[in-house]
A and B are shown apart, each in its own frame.
Chain A
């Protein structure tokens, strides 16, 4: 096998990329580390973009994940505002959008994902997606102008958080969801319905089982036309219909791309090339399933794992129990594991009516997931059981 790299280049200067860089230094790697990022900002945290920053409670600086001093102390060269456009594995060379080529030895691919957009909405003012700090500040400015009516397209976690934050600002919110029950594919019908009720209780006009036909307006958005022919007046529209991994720059590189950069169980994509975060797809041996995970914790852990893997071929498979949180109104929703709509669901503590409970998910006799509403302690306990491969019966019998 090949040796550890002399230098490491990381493409994508966000959560996974920064954690990779920090892990290299923690592991004692003393060669050059270069962090290349398309955004002009140093790595910052995205979760507050739909929560505290959007709400106006935090100034954007508070979302920073690092600062120039720390980057310098760690001896990381940050090249910001620079986009990689091509990868040549034979020449071990990257091409940047400026036309410049740079050599690399070890490489971590951490280019994350971007929002899916609605075709035909380009150039209509007041139509937003939410991924970057710049997106967040543009949306926040529109919220601060006190619009009459906000329409959120898609009731996934990002849409749900934007709806909650907009309600918190006292804005009128309509949320449109194509599925009959929001999040039913991730949480199942029963728990998806609980999420739907939370929004209705907070005054969101939730329209389900209906698609968006068109978003229109003269220069600026005026209305949203739904697939049932009805229209909703809108001053601000936020489209939250999922993300696409940023892999186009790898076209022609020879790396396998299939809804993400395909890696082995240890996050290795090619000789001395690893991938991490929202862009990476790898077989998680704990679940016997190939996955791409779009959560904070995964990006942080996988970034570190991908870095360690570059340094040491003996670093084994990456086998986390995926976990994320979502804050909506005064609820802290957390999900750990790999849940499907048709898993068996059992509430194990608390009360669904009070929106303070934990429910576990079982499949083929094993516990595969846990959902908590304001029950962080239980989520972590059951997460540990999932990690141990406990049976569903054992989990049902457990008391925490």
Chain B
């Protein structure tokens, strides 16, 4: 699974970071950084929660 963020939609509100701080980080420059673009299956539930809870629907999962 690969995490894709549409940075045109992302507003850096850090909802994803609260759910998975090891994968998403909003830094002091107010931009979102993906710390781990290809997390393992064990992280799938948390990443799916991020997808669902992102207020901008900016996160998706690519299967490749």
Q: Select which of A22, A304, A332, A377 is within 8 A of B11 by beta carbon.
A: A332
CA distance A376 to B14 in the complex (A): 6
A286-303: CB near B (< 8 Å → 1, else 0) gives: 000000000011001100
Please tell me which stretch of A180-188, A240-248, A378-386 contacts chain B, meaning at least 4 of its Cβ atoms lie within 8 angstroms of it: A378-386
Q: How many residues on the A side are at the interface (Cβ–Cβ under 8 A)?
A: 19
CA distance A379 to B11 in the complex (A): 14
Q: Is A50 an interface residue (CB 8 A)?
A: no
A194 to chain B, nearest CB (A): 19
Query: Cβ of A376 and Cβ of B53 under 8 Å apart?
Result: no
Q: Is A374 an interface residue (CB 8 A)?
A: yes
CB-based nearest A residue for B26: A377
Q: Is A14 an interface residue (CB 8 A)?
A: no
Q: Is A334 an interface residue (CB 8 A)?
A: yes
CB-based nearest A residue for B29: A377
Query: Which residues in A have their C-beta under 8 angstroms from that of B11?
Result: 325, 327, 332
Query: Which residues in A have their C-beta under 8 angstroms from that of B53?
Result: 297, 300-301
Q: Select which of B13, B27, B57 is within 8 A of A332 by beta carbon.
A: B13
CB-based nearest A residue for B54: A300
Q: Is B30 an interface residue (CB 8 A)?
A: yes
Query: Which residues in B have their C-beta under 8 angstroms from that of A297?
Result: 15, 53, 55
Query: Cβ of B13 and Cβ of A334 under 8 Å apart?
Result: yes
| Residue from the set B11, B26, B55 with the largest chain A CB neighbour count within 10 Å | B55
CA distance A297 to B55 in the complex (A): 7
Query: Cβ of B15 and Cβ of A377 under 8 Å apart?
Result: no
CA distance A384 to B25 in the complex (A): 15
Query: Cβ of B55 and Cβ of A376 under 8 Å apart?
Result: no
A375-398: CB near B (< 8 Å → 1, else 0) gives: 011011001100000000000000
Determine the main DSSP class of B at the interface with A: loop
CB-based nearest B residue for A66: B57
A326 to chain B, nearest CB (A): 11
Q: Select which of A22, A300, A325 is within 8 A of B13 by beta carbon.
A: A325
CA distance A384 to B18 in the complex (A): 7
Query: Which residues in A have their C-beta under 8 angstroms from that of B28?
Result: 377
CB-based nearest B residue for A384: B18
Interface residues in A67-89 (C-beta closer than 8 Å to B) = none
CB-based nearest B residue for A376: B14
A171 to chain B, nearest CB (A): 24
Query: Which residues in A have their C-beta under 8 angstroms from that of B34?
Result: none
Query: Which residues in B have their C-beta under 8 angstroms from that of A300?
Result: 53, 55
Query: Which residues in B have their C-beta under 8 angstroms from that of A301?
Result: 53
Query: Which residues in B have their C-beta under 8 angstroms from that of A379?
Result: 14
CB-based nearest A residue for B16: A380
Interface residues in A87-137 (C-beta closer than 8 Å to B) = none
Interface residues in B13-40 (C-beta closer than 8 Å to A) = 13-15, 17-18, 25-28, 30
A268 to chain B, nearest CB (A): 22
Q: Is B12 an interface residue (CB 8 A)?
A: yes
CB-based nearest A residue for B57: A65
Query: Which residues in A have their C-beta under 8 angstroms from that of B57?
Result: 65
Query: Cβ of B18 and Cβ of A380 under 8 Å apart?
Result: yes
Query: Which residues in B have their C-beta under 8 angstroms from that of A374?
Result: 30
Query: Cβ of B55 and Cβ of A296 under 8 Å apart?
Result: yes
Query: Cβ of A380 and Cβ of B55 under 8 Å apart?
Result: no
Query: Cβ of B14 and Cβ of A377 under 8 Å apart?
Result: yes
B31-61: CB near A (< 8 Å → 1, else 0) gives: 0000000000000000000001101010000
A34 to chain B, nearest CB (A): 22
CA distance A297 to B11 in the complex (A): 14
Question: What are 8 contact pairs spanning A and B, CB under 8 A?
Answer: A300-B53, A301-B53, A325-B13, A332-B12, A374-B30, A376-B26, A377-B14, A383-B18
Extra contacts, 11 of them, besides A376-B12, A380-B26 (Cβ < 8 A), are: A22-B52, A300-B53, A300-B55, A301-B53, A304-B52, A325-B55, A376-B13, A377-B17, A377-B26, A377-B28, A380-B18
Give the interface of B toward A (CB within 8 A): 11-15, 17-18, 25-28, 30, 52-53, 55, 57
Among all A-B residue pairs, the 6 with the closest Cβ atoms: A376-B14, A380-B14, A380-B18, A377-B26, A376-B13, A376-B26
